[in-house]
Homo-oligomer: A and B are copies of this chain.
Amino acid sequence: MESIITVISEEPQLKDAIMIEGLPGVGNVGKLAAEHLLDNIEAVKFADIYSKHFPPQVVLDEDCVANMVNNELYYAKNVGEGHDLVILVGDYQGMTPEGQYELSYHIIKMCQELGVRTIYTLGGYGIGKMVEEPRVLGAVTTKEFRQMLEPHGVAFSAGEPGSGIVGASGLLLGLSKIHGLDAACLMGETSGYFVDPKGAESVLRVLTSILGIEVDMSELESKAEQVEQITSKIKDMESGQDPGQDDLGYIG
């Protein structure tokens, strides 16, 4: 078995396409942002990526039809200021360092074949405390690309994140640089304790500004409010106050 199996249902014809990655990570910020974008543009799934670097597992849909754990690629044409987009989402990243490298390398090769010129990887930057107004930090493959991003509200701060960027969001940048693609990682500040729709919204606001797209954020905002209510109730409980009888069902 090859270590990665890609099942392609359609070969999209794209021009100077932009790839957006949103896989699970800190606060699931990148995943939430990419999935929200996907729900708000007309995107078509064109590829399933299976790999022995994912857990050996199937998930079931509502009809009990089994699907092997995967990553998925969607495309959308002529979005916002006329951009062709490729969007990478999924429930897992590679489980080992080797798996991380193999999968990111595979994605970069697919990007080259699809005519992708630019890659945005979306993620969270865990700061260990609640944050009112999350900044969106950036990392880039070139200084020139940084200058293009700063007017859209991306903060570049020497030494942040101090530990660099781990996983697909980092490796896609590093491999882009080696393969001559422009790439940036957009990291929304997040506590890191919860799935964080507010961090995702911050990232998506910056991304849509870059792409020149309008996206309705109301669903993310409503999820963010729910999370905020739950966390403030937890705080109340911890400080001995009555949290009331409200629904505590949503957590992410």
A interface residues, Cβ below 8 angstroms from B: 1, 3, 5, 7, 50, 52-60, 62-69, 94-95, 97-98, 100-102, 104-106, 137-143, 146, 156-159, 161, 163-167, 170-171, 173-175, 177-178, 185
The answer to whether A174 and B58 touch across the interface, beta carbons within 8 angstroms, is: yes
The answer to whether B55 and A165 touch across the interface, beta carbons within 8 angstroms, is: no
The answer to whether B65 and A146 touch across the interface, beta carbons within 8 angstroms, is: yes
Contacts of A56 in B (CB 8 A): 94, 97, 100-101, 104, 166-167, 170-171
Contacts of A105 in B (CB 8 A): 1
Contacts of A106 in B (CB 8 A): 1
Contacts of A170 in B (CB 8 A): 56-58, 66, 68
The answer to whether B171 and A63 touch across the interface, beta carbons within 8 angstroms, is: no
Bound complex: CA of A105 vs CA of B68, how far in Å? 12
Identify which of B1, B57, B161, B166 contacts A55 (C-beta below 8 A). Answer: B166
What 10 A-B pairs come out closest when comparing CB atoms? A68-B174, A56-B100, A52-B101, A1-B105, A58-B170, A59-B164, A66-B173, A58-B174, A64-B156, A62-B158
The answer to whether A66 and B141 touch across the interface, beta carbons within 8 angstroms, is: yes
Bound complex: CA of A251 vs CA of B56, how far in Å? 30
- Min distance, Cβ A242 to any Cβ of chain B, angstroms: 32
Contacts of A63 in B (CB 8 A): 143, 146, 156, 158
Identify which of B101, B140, B146, B163 contacts A1 (C-beta below 8 A). Answer: B101
Contacts of A157 in B (CB 8 A): 64
